Amino acid sequence: MTALLPRRGLAQILALIVILAVDRVVSPQFFDLRLQDGRLFGSLIDVLNRGTPVALLSLGMVLVIATRGIDLSVGAVMAICGAIAASLADSHGLPVVLAAALGAGLVCGLWNGFLVAVLGMQPIVATLILMVAGRGIAQLITEGRIVTFSSPDLVWLGNGSVLGLPVPVVIALGMLILTGAVVRGSALGLLIEATGGNARASELAGVGTRAMILAVYVWCGVCAALAGVIAAADIMGADANNAGLWLELDAILAVVIGGTSLFGGRFSLVLAVLGALIIQTMNTGILLSGYPPEFNLLVKAVVVLAVLLLQSPKFSGFAGIAARLRRTKA
Amino acid sequence: MKGLPPALITAIVLVAGFAACAMQFPNIASTRVVGNLLTDNAFLGIVATGMAFVIISGGIDLSVGSVIGFTTVFVALAIERWGVPPLVAFVAILVLSAAFGAAMGAVIHIFDLPPFIVTLAGMFLARGASFLLSTESVPITAPVYSTVSDFALRMPGGGRLTAIAIIMLVIVIGGALLLHLTRFGANVYALGGSRTTASLMGVAVGKMTIKIYMLSSLLAGIAGIVFSFYTSAGYSLSAVGVELDSIAAVVIGGTLLTGGQGSVIGTFLGVLIQGLIQTYINFDGTLSSWWTKIATGVLLFAFIALQQGLVALARRPVRKSAGATT
């Protein structure tokens, strides 16, 4: 798998380089970096920093999608965990706040995993429940207000820096390495792919598919919780209505751009994170170019379509389309 | 699925819920409140009807909310800025949205892609396009709008059955007839049951897929026009998240999300249940509107768990008898 990585990731790396080049044309200062107060500043760092929530979400999402599932609730889980972190921040220490928020994410993931693995629900439906109810729960926690806090520990988590890099970026990098070490350093990744490839065959071959599915949803919940805490720490407050809104779609998009098939069976963590960075580089580029941010959605739509068509098993140049059309007409 | 059909369970929940609300607030049981409930949920009822077709056929359409948003902006700009007569604008947007749906259906079929992700792209595209048209709310002052808004049938008890509520009821009834009485409807069920089987039995799967998504987008376009009547304005951010509400209505209405089973009437009841929750919260006054989301989530879970149980029950005897013969 790792040996194949460079070849598989070529399209994504090229795409990122092209978008970076376009950004360079649009904004000549794009690659400028400067060190100020022991922290790096610049558009590139900004891309990394802003891309962190989606990158974290995509780390969990990619494993879920590898088992042939999908988790629509990550945005709502972000809102819940951000709300918990924000409401505890000023009265408790950072360890308690983090434990509570990540614990909540774990419970949310456990709930999704229980519905999918034990009750056998379709993943879209099972996670739809929490997607709908989750924002309500988050508002229950914040009592419908935007909860703000001033705890320096939590603020540091969103705005501080380590070795010149913003803390969120370091956390995301750490999570990527941790997840990669756990799933690729052991047979876990293979078992997850087996579950997604053919759950029944894997079950018969002795893979604990239920445990695998439960585990990936729990991990997805924890990643979403971390993203929620960082998003709350970034704006020093929790907005139950808007925190993580539509980010589940960005996370799915990042995974799809990263070449992971929605039909399960294979995945790449690095490429999913690369997908998240591609999305963010586009967003930042559009912002810098002076176009209204509304263009983001149009560009995203075009990118999704292009990636989908390239990935489609039925797509092999225009000859393929023509042949297909002829068959449909017949 | 012998025994109680899921739509009947939805009806029982609706009646019981309505009775419980009426016991606490006697005023809920009046034609005024019911009339308002129909008016407030008119656009949702129309979209959900289209969504029922898509979901019964085994697909999903995430783009409907954005199509509504695009429609309201397009109609508002066409009438107010470009000076197009309202009727021409309506026809244009309906053609446009039907073509949009057909294109999504074609991409789903030709490239064999999951509907989820294709309609997700459609959602971005339609929302982005409406942002491009205008990011601000455009009020509509055309005389047609005040005429339609003022039109209402008087119901006994002082309730008003408004024009948009009537449009919704007509579409729900038409949708139910189309689904249950025509060959098109039978084909929708067949597609949801099994694509391969349907194709082997002579259903033109490609054409059906295109038509189903066309229908869904067309109804979303109509819902958009109704929404613009409801608010007398076009706004690119209107109807955000309506796709979720309509999927929830379809599921609460007893339609299996795996496809092959369900009804338009059940979906309509699902819309009414959501409307009832909203009405109860309005009457109560102390509860915040986010309780709607939690209540909808709980109902979603209850209905899906119920379906899961029913499906498991339906399968069990088959497995036993199969075991007995060997």
For residue B88, give the CATH number of its domain: 1.10.3470
* pLDDT over 50 at B325, yes or no: no
Alpha-helical (H) ranges within chain A are: 5-26, 43-66, 74-89, 94-113, 123-142, 152-159, 167-185, 188-197, 199-204, 209-235, 247-257, 269-288, 295-311, 317-329
- What b/e string do you get for B170-208 counting C-beta neighbours within 10 Å, with b at 16 or more? ebbeebbebbeeeeebebbbbbbbebeebeeeebebbeb
Query: What is the predicted pLDDT for the residue at B174?
Result: 95
User: Mean pLDDT for chain A?
Assistant: 84
Residues B299, B165: Cα–Cα separation, whole Å: 25
B 272-301 residues with CB < 8 A to A = 288, 290-294, 296-298, 300-301
Give the per-residue pLDDT at A3. 40
Residues in chain B within 8 Å Cβ distance of A309? 111
Domain count for chain B, please give it.
1
Domain range enclosing B68:
6-316
Q: Out of A121, A135, A328, whose CB is closest to B304? A: A121
Contact residues on chain A for B67, CB-CB shorter than 8 A: none
- Closest to A86 in 3D by CA, of A232, A225, A246, A185: A232
Question: Is the model more confident about B151 or about B182?
Answer: B182
CA A24 to centroid of chain Cα atoms: 26
pLDDT per position as a tens digit, A165-198: 889 999 999 999 999 999 998 988 888 988 888 8
Record: contact A295-B128, CB cut-off 8 A: yes
Best residue of B107, B112, B293, B316 to probe chain A, by most A CBs closer than 10 Å:
B293
Q: Which residue has the tokens 């019981």?
A: B16
Q: Do you know the residue count of chain A?
A: 330
Q: Which of A30-34, B260-264, B278-282, B319-323 has the lowest mean pLDDT?
A: B319-323
Q: Cα separation of B189 and B179, whole Å?
A: 9
- How many angstroms separate the Cα of B87 from the Cα of each of A195, B80, B81, B94, B264? 54, 13, 15, 11, 28
B317 vs A269: which has the higher pLDDT: A269
Q: Domain-by-domain residue ranges, chain A?
A: 42-290
Cβ of A328 within 8 Å of Cβ of B305? The answer is: no
Nearest residue on chain B to A304, judged by CA atoms? B121
| 3 state DSSP class of B151 | coil
- Does residue B111 belong to the interface with chain A, where contact is any CB pair within 8 Å? yes
CB contact under 8 A, A122 and B121: no
CATH topology of domain A42-290: ABC transporter involved in vitamin B12 uptake, BtuC (1.10.3470)
The terminus-to-terminus CA distance of chain A in angstroms comes to 42
Q: CB distance B128–A296 less than 8 Å?
A: yes
Mean pLDDT of B117-129: 87
Place of tokens 């904004």: A27
For position A229, what pLDDT does the model report? 93
Q: Which residues in chain B are closer than 8 Å to A315, comparing Cβ atoms?
A: 111
Are residues A135 and B290, on separate chains, in Cβ contact within 8 Å? yes
In a domain? residue B326: no
Minimum distance, in Å, between the CA of residue B127 and any CA atom of chain A: 7
pLDDT tens profile B4-50? 577 888 888 889 888 888 888 888 888 888 888 898 899 999 999 99
Inter-chain residue contact A119 with B290, CB threshold 8 Å: no
Kindly report the nearest CA distance between residue A41 and chain B, in angstroms.
31
Q: At what angle do helices B42-56 and B205-231 cross, to 10 degrees?
A: 170
DSSP assignment letter at B74: H
- Copy the structure tokens of residue A267: 């995945």
- Sheet strands (E) in chain B: 138-139, 152-154, 160-162, 233-234
Distance CA A320, CA A30 (A): 40
Name chain A contacts of B110, Cβ cutoff 8 Å.
314, 321, 324-325, 328
In the block, residue with structure tokens 């979720």: B244
Q: Examine residue B322 and state whether it is found in any structural domain, yes or no.
A: no
Q: How far apart are CA A248 and CA A223, in angstroms?
A: 12
Average pLDDT over residues B235-243: 82
Q: According to the model, what pLDDT value does residue B321 have?
A: 46
Helix (H, G, I), strand (E, B) or coil at A292: coil
From the list A296, A298, A314, which residue is nearest B111 (CB)?
A: A314
More confident residue, B304 or B92: B92
For residue B323, being part of any structural domain is answered with no
Give the closest-approach CA distance of A239 to chain B in angstroms: 13
CA-wise closest residue to B108 among B193, B205, B194:
B205
Check if B131 contacts A (Cβ < 8 Å): yes
In the predicted structure, residue B84 carries a pLDDT above the cut 70: yes
Residues contacting A143, CB < 8 A, separation 6+: none
| CA-based nearest distance A163→chain B, Å | 38
Report whether A271 contacts A12 (CB < 8 A): yes
Q: What is the mean pLDDT of residues B66-91?
A: 91
Taking only the tens of pLDDT, chain A with its 330 residues reads 444 444 567 778 888 888 888 888 888 888 888 877 777 788 888 889 889 999 999 999 999 999 988 898 999 999 999 999 999 988 888 899 999 999 999 999 999 999 999 888 888 888 888 888 888 899 888 887 888 888 888 888 888 888 888 899 999 999 999 999 999 989 888 889 888 888 888 888 888 889 999 999 999 999 999 999 999 998 888 888 777 777 888 898 899 888 887 777 888 899 999 999 998 988 888 888 877 777 777 887 887 777 777 766 655 444 455 555 555 554
Partners of A148 in beta bridges: A237
Decide if B117 is inside a domain. yes
Residue B123 within a domain: yes
Point out the residue among A304, A312, A325 whose CB comes nearest to the CB of B120: A304
Q: How far is A305 from chain B (nearest CA, A)?
A: 7
Q: Chain A contact for B249, CB < 8 A?
A: no
Q: Least CB-CB distance to A308: which of B117, B207, B247? A: B117
Structural domain includes residue B321: no
- Determine the pLDDT at residue A5: 46
- For A39, A53, A67, the CA distances from A162, given in Å and listed in that order, are 8, 18, 35
CB contact under 8 A, B128 and A137: no
- Distance from the Cα of B22 to chain A's closest Cα (Å) equals 25
pLDDT attached to residue B216: 95
Cβ pair A298:B124 closer than 8 A: yes
